[in-house]
């Protein structure tokens, strides 16, 4: 990973953190409750977090949301999902969602490569409001 | 399940079977290969079929495709996914996809209820081209 | 409105009510909280219910969800939105969402015609979980 | 084609015609202009109508709008597009849009089969506002 | 607002202006008429501009179009919509469209913060073809 | 075209090439087969490549995928599609997909302008996995 790429990942992460704080500081109960519900959704229940994160990743890919994909790829890695398993999740997303998923697949693999290259920092990132 | 509901499930199943045969009888290699690839996608690999079907279900729900949802609910049941686990998959889909998923959730639960009421026949249905 | 059309509106309304009860009877807190949040969203705040329902209608049209459109058309009528105003909401949805909105527009106008023809019953319908 | 299927095609066609008249009778200039623009879009220019209808069909398939697909399949047939060519348009839509297009493909092929079985009437249908 | 952020808003605004001119200079009547219709859509009628802009904003958020969101946020501000009211529009969009709206919400709030910090220039921007 | 714009086109092209290689180097047969099928889809058959590329372009525009749009605009140029014809494809996409297509139209026209300004290099680019 080049220094430039490293900066971009950090910049995105800081932007997400800063804006989440701005949004939750606003006096809007529906928005706050939605963020809390989003966090609750991926907690282990009948299904474990690993399976839920894989489902969140697939949903994000077919809906073509790069930030959501990056978030769930990172969460999957933390939950112990292997690169081979991630590619199987990518393959389901690709077949369900079609070739328009390809540009997002490229960015997902690029993000995954960066995570694997600098995993120490990634693992240290505090958990928080997703997407 | 009323006799009318039973008929509707059978009618849909027959329509899907009949049209898949019509489509695959056509001399179009891209379409045929896509159907074959679709079947291959859910075979056990690094991830088991159960997890892949749950991902297929979530993708179908956020993309709001009733026929795809019904297909994956049936496949999940065959792979041993419990009602409680299915509802957790529904909850991920609902939070990722928003309230526009609700009408599809209603139809998914209705279909699940019908499957559970008449499961013997459902289990006897031959596997085949999905969605 | 023909007797057949009247039946179809009633049938849809009963299906929605029955399935909402099935869904909320399930022990899944995320789904229940989402339904509660959905109801809370349209309560008057800085914006009145009328404006929020018009926004819900427009969002439903561009996302092409017939059940959601029918629900918000009915809610708009109850909040005092006129036919002329509804058509302006339709026009915004049509221009933002494009010609693929047209089939949903046809069904929305058909539903609106039915509501106006038999408004007494519509108004008597109990409020509840939306979409 | 069974009598029942024939009736369904006629019923859909009459509903479309009746609702288009209702919509255009309303005093909303934006909606009327949009309908006029929609008709103008497919007129021969630098590209012939045949190519434009194929593009309209592909766009309708990847956006998964059954009514729009049926309309453009009928228009393509009138413009002399062969079944083999239609299947190539279907194959592009399938690969771009993914397996969620499959249920719409099934209904498109069913509609095409019906058109080919009773083509005389189809050809006699007056041109009009699309989708 | 940092100088860098200020530059990015200006750069986007100039790109939009320059490309709109390129597009309208082209001899394509359908495209030109669509742009004119887009402008006409938000003019006050039975509903005021303020309500129409709020509907345009909600539609843009659930369809996840950042440029459209930025445009309608700016138009809402000009029409006198308060920050509290904008957050209620955001909350409707979030609940209807789900957690995949969150990244767009972050960028919308960031854009709103920038608008409020440098509002004098924003207000001076000439009206024009939207999205 | 400025030097900066030229760099951006080259950077995107290199990223696409590099990531496609990364993806195809992975041992995932479904993903590889999908990429092969994507390439096969646009080969001349009953319809010529030109028509298929125009359909791929329209599908990409209504699905609002900038990378896919850029790819198909370049392929259309190589297949001899004129600027006037491209604008007719844009007009179909705009009317089918609505005003949310406008930001993508702006970027498509910008990309087309850049291609026309530096066409020699564009034509020399090797064919490959699309989108």
Model confidence at F12, pLDDT cuts 50, 70, 90, reads confident
Q: CA A99, CA B102: separation in Å to the nearest integer?
A: 27
Q: What is the pLDDT of residue C3?
A: 53
- Return the number of other C-beta atoms located less than 10 Å from residue E39's C-beta: 13
Smallest Cβ distance to D95: which of B22, B30, B65? B30
* Average pLDDT rounded to a whole number, residues D73-101: 98
- Using the beta-carbon criterion (under 8 Å), do C101 and F100 form an inter-chain contact? no
pLDDT of B117 strictly over 50: yes
Give the residue from chain C lying closest to F94, CA to CA. C98
How many A×B Cβ pairs under 8 Å?
87
CA distances from A53 to A86, B58, D27 (A): 11, 11, 50
The torsion of the CA quartet F81, C100, E36, D52, rounded to 10 degrees, works out to 20
Q: CA B110, CA B73: separation in Å to the nearest integer?
A: 11
Q: Taking CB atoms and an 8 Å cutoff, what residues of chain C touch F97? A: 97-98, 100
Q: Which of B119, B52, B49, B59 has its CA nearest to residue B83?
A: B119
For chain A, 131 residues long, the average pLDDT of each consecutive 10-residue run is 63 93 97 98 98 98 97 96 98 98 98 84 46 59
Q: What is the pLDDT of residue A122?
A: 47
Domain segments of chain A as ranges: 3-121
Q: CA E44, CA E33: separation in Å to the nearest integer?
A: 19
* Average pLDDT rounded to a whole number, residues F39-57: 98
Asked if F26 contacts A87 with a C-beta cutoff of 8 angstroms, the reply is yes
Asked if A55 contacts B58 with a C-beta cutoff of 8 angstroms, the reply is yes
Q: Which pair of structure tokens corresponds to residue E122? A: 């924003």
pLDDT of B1 strictly over 70: no
SS (H, E, C) F5-38: HHHHHHHHHHHHHHHHHHHHHCCCHHHHHHHHHH
Q: Which pair of structure tokens corresponds to residue C88? A: 């302006």
* Average pLDDT rounded to a whole number, residues D28-50: 98
Q: What is the pLDDT of residue E130?
A: 57
Q: CA F43, CA F53: separation in Å to the nearest integer?
A: 9
**CB-based contacts of D119, cutoff 8 Å, min separation 6:** D77
Q: Which of F95, C97, F59 has its CA nearest to residue C105?
A: C97
Could you say which DSSP state residue A101 is in? G
CATH of domain F3-121: 1.20.1290.10
Q: Which pair of structure tokens corresponds to residue E83? A: 């920050």
Model confidence at C10, pLDDT cuts 50, 70, 90, reads confident
SS (H, E, C) chain A: CCHHHHHHHHHHHHHHHHHHHHHHHCCCHHHHHHHHHHHHHCCCCCCCHHHHHHHHHHHHHHCCCHHHHHHHHHHHHHCCCCHHHHHHHHHHHHHHHCHHHHHHHHHHHHHHHHHHHCHHHHHHCCCCCCC
Q: Taking CB atoms and an 8 Å cutoff, what residues of chain D touch B131? A: 99-100, 102-103
Q: Taking CB atoms and an 8 Å cutoff, what residues of chain C touch F99? A: 95-96, 98
pLDDT of C119 strictly over 70: no
The angle, 0 to 180 degrees and rounded to 10, between the axes of the packed helices A3-25 and A29-41 is: 130
The CA distance from E12 to the nearest CA of chain C, in Å, is 21
Could you say which DSSP state residue F106 is in? H
Q: Taking CB atoms and an 8 Å cutoff, what residues of chain C touch A34? A: 37
Q: Taking CB atoms and an 8 Å cutoff, what residues of chain E touch A97? A: none
F52 phi and psi angles, rounded to 5 deg: -65, -40
Distance of alpha carbon C107 from its chain centroid, rounded?
Answer: 12
Q: Would you call A46 an interface residue with chain C, using a CB distance cutoff of 8 Å?
A: no
Q: CA A88, CA A78: separation in Å to the nearest integer?
A: 17
* Average pLDDT rounded to a whole number, residues D68-89: 97
Give me chain B's average pLDDT, please: 89
pTM of the predicted structure, to 2 decimals: 0.93
Q: CA B113, CA E35: separation in Å to the nearest integer?
A: 49
Q: Which pair of structure tokens corresponds to residue F110? A: 């910008």
For the segment C22-62, what is each residue's pLDDT rounded down to a tens digit? 999 999 999 999 999 999 999 999 999 999 999 999 999 99
Q: CA B88, CA B82: separation in Å to the nearest integer?
A: 10
Asked if F87 contacts E31 with a C-beta cutoff of 8 angstroms, the reply is yes
Q: Would you call E92 an interface residue with chain C, using a CB distance cutoff of 8 Å?
A: yes
A55 phi and psi angles, rounded to 5 deg: -65, -40
The CA distance from F63 to the nearest CA of chain E, in Å, is 11
The CA distance from A38 to the nearest CA of chain C, in Å, is 9
Q: CA F29, CA F8: separation in Å to the nearest integer?
A: 32
Q: Which of C31, C95, C22 has its CA nearest to residue C58?
A: C95
Q: What is the pLDDT of residue B131?
A: 59
Q: What is the pLDDT of residue D128?
A: 46
For the segment F80-115, what is each residue's pLDDT rounded down to a tens digit? 999 999 999 999 999 999 999 999 999 999 999 999
């Amino acid at each position: 990973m080049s220094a430039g790429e490293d900066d971009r990942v950090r910049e995105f992460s800081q932007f997400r953190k800063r804006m989440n704080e701005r949004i939750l500081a606003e006096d809007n109960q529906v928005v706050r409750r939605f963020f809390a519900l989003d966090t609750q959704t991926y907690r282990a229940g009948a299904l474990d977090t690993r399976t839920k994160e894989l489902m969140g990743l697939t949903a994000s890919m077919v809906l073509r949301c790069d930030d959501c994909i990056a978030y769930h790829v990172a969460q999957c890695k933390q939950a112990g999902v292997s690169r081979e398993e991630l590619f199987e999740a990518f393959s389901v997303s690709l077949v369900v969602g079609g070739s328009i998923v390809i540009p997002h697949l490229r960015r997902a693999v690029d993000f995954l490569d960066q995570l694997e290259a600098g995993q120490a920092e990634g693992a240290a990132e505090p958990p928080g409001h997703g997407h």
